[in-house]
A and B are shown apart, each in its own frame.
Chain A
Amino acid sequence: DPKIIQKPKYLVAVTGSEKILICEQYLGHNAMYWYRQSAKKPLEFMFSYSYQKLMDNQTASSRFQPQSSKKNHLDLQITALKPDDSATYFCASSPTGGPSAETLYFGSGTRLTVL
């Protein structure tokens, strides 16, 4: 059974619209992350949360907003979508998120296409 669930697996959106990418993890981890993978930048860090608090933000645009309603949830809201946002978005988790050699566990990704 997958321990990190991302929904939907595929998503097609029109330019200017808004979408929410869902992520739930059942590993009992306290840290969650969003990464983006596209042809231009292979695996790019976006956000990290630890104990439901934003720890790090590498996304310049405010169009990307993480939302953590529960400890094991970290959704990603994207507004005013652009074709350049087309990518696979990976959710990941780790035990605590503290500076360490913790392993990241990735979900299977949401492939977003913006037309």
Chain B
Amino acid sequence: GAVVSQHPSWVICKSGTSVKIECRSLDFQATTMFWYRQFPKQSLMLMATSNEGSKATYEQGVEKDKFLINHASLTLSTLTVTSAHPEDSSFYICSARKGQLGGELFFGEGSRLTVL
């Protein structure tokens, strides 16, 4: 199957700093990628839809200035958590959609963010 890779897999940062997480589709082009966050024992919460070459579409309640998304190429989307605080600590997962019909999603391994 298709491969989606995230980096870093885990990161620890100090409060107030910014952290960038990369999501790459390794063997297919993805015009659309999705970013999720997941708290312990909870489901994946869709944060935003990342569109190549245009602005991301954020879900209700997600601060676009807090979570900056850039989708500069067909294989790379980045999520930057700006001025991170402890409440931003979470598991962030990206996914990329291969093809249009049926819309099978391929997920990255996830990135564990811990803000001290």
Q: Are A and B genuine complex partners?
A: no
Spell out A's residues near B (CB within 8 Å).
Answer: none
Spell out B's residues near A (CB within 8 Å).
Answer: none
